[in-house]
Amino acid sequence: MRKLNIPIIMQSNTANPAFPQLGDMPVSEFRRHAHQFVDWVADYFEQIEQHPVLPNLNPGDVRAQLPTAPPLAGEPMENLLADVDRVIMPGMTHWNHPNFFAYFAISGSGPGLLGELLSDAFNINGMLWKTCPAATELEQVTLDWLRQMLGLPQDFWGIIYDTASISTLHAIAAAREQLADLRIRAEGLAGRADVPRLRLYTSEHAHSSIDKAAITLGLGMAGVRKIPADENFRVRPEALAAAIAEDRRHGWRPFCVVANVGTTSTTSIDPVPALADICERENLWLHVDAAYGGAAAVVPEMRHVLDGCNRADSIVMNPHKWLFVPFDFSAFYTRKPEVLRRAFSLVPEYLRTAPDQHVENLMDYGVQLGRRFRALKLWFVIRYFGWDGIAARIREHIRLAQQFAGWVEAHPDFECMAPTPFSLVCFRAHPPNWDDTEKLNRLNEKLLEAVNATREVFLSHTKLQDRYVLRLAIGNLRTEEHHVRRAWELIKTQLMEIRTA
Ligand SMILES: *Cc1c(COP(=O)(O)O)cnc(C)c1O
């Protein structure tokens, strides 16, 4: 046997005075700082309302306070925590704040954070069952719990990705793989005269992640046909059927429909049963984007929001949005995991293991090889709050939103701009006798600016049929009725000030 000549760099790390200490932070020091940091976090949660929800700074302000080069020598942890207070905190938008009503207000939670802490401590890579059996098996069990909570059928197989955008990318990749005759995995799409142009369909109100998936998968923006919606922002099935027929006549190959349960702008719910009929008839993959809205199905009386989704090929919902699991965590379910696997499984020799025949290796179901131990935080959240506890919190958010929508409707200077099926209210100021759209748009833009400039609350906006609309989203665990009342007072006061200015 040939002898390898391996130089001995250093025999003992304590023997070299230039390296008095290699290895990690000593455990005793870690213990001390960890206690201190946990106290810092608990204080932060306790005092969250003493911070304005929005920071007051200009672009570059945070960066200007940071050295441009890394430190050569290590620094004590005390310096770091002091700099978090001095540099980072003034640059924070506080998503944990109960007055955060922008976008989709999301909320981590104590149990979720503790799960994340353990997951970071283990620092495993769950690419293979063998590289961490507990991660793979807990992921399967917790996703099956969540499936039951959502009322989805037993043949839905789940996997965790980081975000809904990535979940949807995998859904569309699987839909493309299902076109087996085109051999796209092997041959690609570029430069092939034998492949028709592929088309997927979704609502004009669908999330941009669908376009991004199409860009990534070589379908192009032209490969996504946006279908018009009705007056309540739900995609029109007859318009979808007509678009598919027209495309077929013109040589396109339809392959996928993405339905929405809770669009980003207004949380409208597409008529999924009618879309499922079309997909079955036309043999198209039906993917449901329920990134935000899906969580509501955990509440028994809201389960209807997923009506028809049992007939979908795949569905995504984000526990990091409205299920109190810290960012990031997206749950993806499909009835055809074998198609997903066909699209992505590629096992090099060095990743082959003896139990491969008997276990699920989650790296086979996606682009990424390495996988975090995300299931821990979902496990903690479900067990700590219980199904009932989670449902009670979501139910309360929906109640608060309905109440806010009621105040808007009852006020002569305001109006709701979309139905409120979940916990997002779309509304605008509309004083009597104002009917110029542009003028109203400017008024509402100013109103949003003024409300957010108080830094006491944070709302966002959208445009619906060229109208500037304010969005108030409730989804934070700390949001109580008095916070929503205060937001409403602020909005009314700011409108008055703008109009008298
Ligand atoms: C938030 C959202 C997304 C994107 O979610 P990420 O997890 O940030 O990628 C997609 N679709 C809908 C309907 C959403 O609300």
CATH number at residue 148: 3.40.640.10
| pLDDT of the residue at 72 | 95
Distance from Cα 327 to the centre of ligand 1, integer Å: 12
Q: Which atom of ligand 1 is nearest to the CA of 292?
A: 15
User: Containing domain of residue 483, as a range?
Assistant: 382-500
In a domain, residue 342? The reply is: yes
In a domain, residue 41? The reply is: no
Place of tokens 């978090």: 84
| 367 and 386 co-located in one domain | no
Of 456, 405, 454, 399, which Cα lies nearest the Cα of 428? 405
Last residue of a domain, one of 350, 372, 394: 372
Q: Is the pLDDT of residue 10 over 60?
A: no
Average pLDDT, the chain: 95
DSSP letter at 369 equals S
Place of tokens 């975000």: 163
Q: Is the pLDDT of residue 5 over 90?
A: no
Distance from Cα 289 to the centre of ligand 1, integer Å: 8
* pLDDT tens, position by position, 127-180: 999 999 999 999 999 999 999 999 999 999 999 999 999 999 999 999 999 999
| 303 and 328 co-located in one domain | yes
Looking at the structure of the chain, the number of domains it has is 2
In a domain, residue 45? The reply is: no
| 349 and 390 co-located in one domain | no
In a domain, residue 20? The reply is: no
| 359 and 437 co-located in one domain | no
Place of tokens 């965790």: 160
Whether pTM > 0.85 for this model: the answer is yes
In a domain, residue 203? The reply is: yes
Last residue of a domain, one of 319, 353, 372: 372
CA 484 – CA 420 distance, rounded (Å): 15
| 157 and 196 co-located in one domain | yes
Residue nearest to atom 1 of ligand 1 (CA): 291
Distance from Cα 20 to the centre of ligand 1, integer Å: 49
* pLDDT tens, position by position, 446-474: 999 999 999 999 999 999 999 999 999 99
Strand intervals (E) in 318-449: 330-334, 414-416, 424-429
| 241 and 357 co-located in one domain | yes
In a domain, residue 4? The reply is: no
Last residue of a domain, one of 340, 372, 404: 372
- Residue 13 pLDDT class (50, 70, 90 cuts): very low
Which of 104, 318, 327, 462 is the best mutation target for the ligand 1 pocket, counting ligand atoms within 8 Å of the beta carbon and taking the most? 318
Identity at 228, one-letter amino acid code: P
Q: Is residue 267 lining ligand 1, measured as CB closer than 6 Å?
A: no
What mean pLDDT comes out for the span 59-86?
95
Q: Is residue 330 lining ligand 1, measured as CB closer than 6 Å?
A: yes
In a domain, residue 83? The reply is: no
| 392 and 360 co-located in one domain | no
Spatial neighbors of 352 by CB under 8 A, at least 6 apart, are none
| 161 and 306 co-located in one domain | yes
In a domain, residue 194? The reply is: yes
SS3 199: strand
Order of strands, sheet of 330-334, starting from the edge strand that comes earlier in the sequence: 157-161, 330-334, 314-317, 285-289, 253-260, 198-203, 224-227
Q: Which atom of ligand 1 is nearest to the CA of 165?
A: 9
Spatial neighbors of 96 by CB under 8 A, at least 6 apart, are 44, 45, 48, 107, 108, 476, 478
Token reading at 63? 């960066």
| 364 and 431 co-located in one domain | no
